[in-house]
Structures are given as C-alpha cells and as structure tokens.
Amino acid sequence: MNEAEEARLGVLGAGVMGTGIAVVAIGHGVPVVLVDVSEDKLAEARHRVEQQLRHARLMGAVPAKGPVAGLTTTVELADAGDATAVVEAVVEDTEIKAKVLGEVSRLVRPGTPLVTNTSGIPIGELGRFVARPHELVGVHFMNPAYLITMVEVIRGDLTGDGTMTAVTGLLARMGRRGIVVRDAPGFVTSRLLHPMINEAARIVAAGVSTADSVDELMSGCLGHPTGPLRTADLIGLDNLVDALRALWERTGDANFRPCELLLEKVAMGHLGRKSGKGFYDYEKVLS
C-alpha cells in the first residue's frame, strides 16, 4: 500500500454505512469491491453511491476533480480476497460480525488489515473469531460517512503496530482524520452519545417535551449540531437499539437499556430517515 492506486478496499455490507464508506474510498481514488448477500440490495447500493458521490463532491468532502476509482459489486465474499484492506460494515450484531470477519480473515492474504466498523462491540471480543487478531482494528465511521471526515480508531490489545500504520495511512489517503482510543465497550463516542439519546427519548415518552423542543434546546443552549433525536433518526433507531443493548449487556449500566419508546418505534418499522419516519417524518429517498 505504498501508492494510492495500489490500494484495493473490500467493503462488506451494502447498507447505509457500507455505501458511505465506499463513496469515501472511490472518491479518493481507492477502488472498492462492495459485497452483500443480495443482488437487489447491491443494485440499490450502486444508485445510492452515485447520488452520494455527487453530493460529496459538491460539499467538498471528496476531491471535486480527478478520477473516481472503480466500484465492483458482488455477492461472493471470496471476491474481496485480494483486497489490501477490508472494512466490515454489517449490522451491529456480534454473531453476524464474528461470522463475517472470521470468514474473510481466512480468505485474505496475511498482512491484510481487517477493519470492523462497530459502534461499540469490543475489538478484543471480535478478535477471538479471526485468523490473525493482530490484523484487526476498529474504525467507527460516523453517518453520513461520506461527509464526516473524523473517525474513531479503536486499537485492541492484540492489534499490531503494522496494522495501525497501514490503517491510519489508508484513512489519511481517504481524507479522514483518525483519533485513536483504547478498546472498551462503546469506546468514546457511543459511550457518551447513546445514553444521551436514550434519555432524550425517555423525556419525550414522559410527555415533558416534544422531540423538536428537545433538539432545539440541545442545539441552542448546549451547542449540539442537530439535537440528539434528529441524530438518532440519522443513525437509524434499529442500529441505535442494537448498540444500546450491546452496551447494556457488557456494562450492566441501566442507562444503556433501550427505553420503551425506542423499542416501540423499531417494532413499528419507524427506523428514522432510512424508513421515512422516526422521531420525525421524512420523504423516503435512497440518499
């Protein structure tokens, strides 16, 4: 990975995060193999990548000029086997992540960094399932990944120096600034943000305030850019519930137990922006 054109990124999962990460890579000249289990989902992902790439260029999040690297989509995990780095971006479920990471770790060449885009599952926990734990590192991309240029980089106890050097170099090549933290449930961002969102939802459920008023107060008084509940809709309420449960199970802290309002919204399919309805109503669009 000495030259940008030599890098080849495998991205596993063509959902919201996987497509956003793919946009970042190809927009900075790094070819991507995007893997998912569904051809229909991959077709949708190609359209979303095209839309987001245009938006990213307009916003200056990727170079406005210069060649865009190639995007290959496939349902075959083996097609990511010759990547120089692999990013796992599947759902926030330990069992699924462990299965995917374990399989791809046995397909790639030794020395290939494996990146998990988890929002809170400890890297050491996932490292038990890969062939070479020293090649596993966490990189928590924020949504929308193609616009937010800072990422949280989580070094597990077994993550090797070579892996850290390769991954931080790749992130820099992709125009991302990584802040390195140590391994722990929730790391830094989720450990702080998720219980705040959970409490904001409890406040709404108790009738103390509307979602809009909570967000206005947090934005106008405390400087939160969008407010916790608009942020929740952007994250995806299903993803948020999964991440809260993971934190609750690992810490025993009741503040992380998903509140009833979040559970109700997920059960109704009100998942936030991606479903068209969450704490707010949205026009359902692929972007």
Distance CA(91)–CA(105), nearest Å, equals: 18
Mean pLDDT estimate for the chain: 94
Question: For residue 154, which of 145, 144, 143, 141 has the smallest C-alpha distance?
Answer: 141
| pLDDT score of 30 | 96
Give the active site residue among 28, 47, 55, 140: 140
Q: Length of the chain, please?
A: 287
Task: Reply yes or no on whether 140 is catalytic.
Answer: yes
Residue 97 has pLDDT above 80, yes or no: yes
- What value does the mean pLDDT take over residues 254-283? 95
Q: Is the pTM of this model over 0.85?
A: yes
List the domains of the chain with CATH numbers. 4-182 (3.40.50.720), 189-267 (1.10.1040.50)
Label residue 286 by pLDDT band (50, 70, 90): very low
**Cross-strand partners of 154:** 138, 181
**Tens of pLDDT, residues 56-93:** 999 988 998 878 999 999 999 999 999 999 999 999 99
Which residues, at least 6 apart from 54, have a Cβ–Cβ distance to it below 8 Å? none
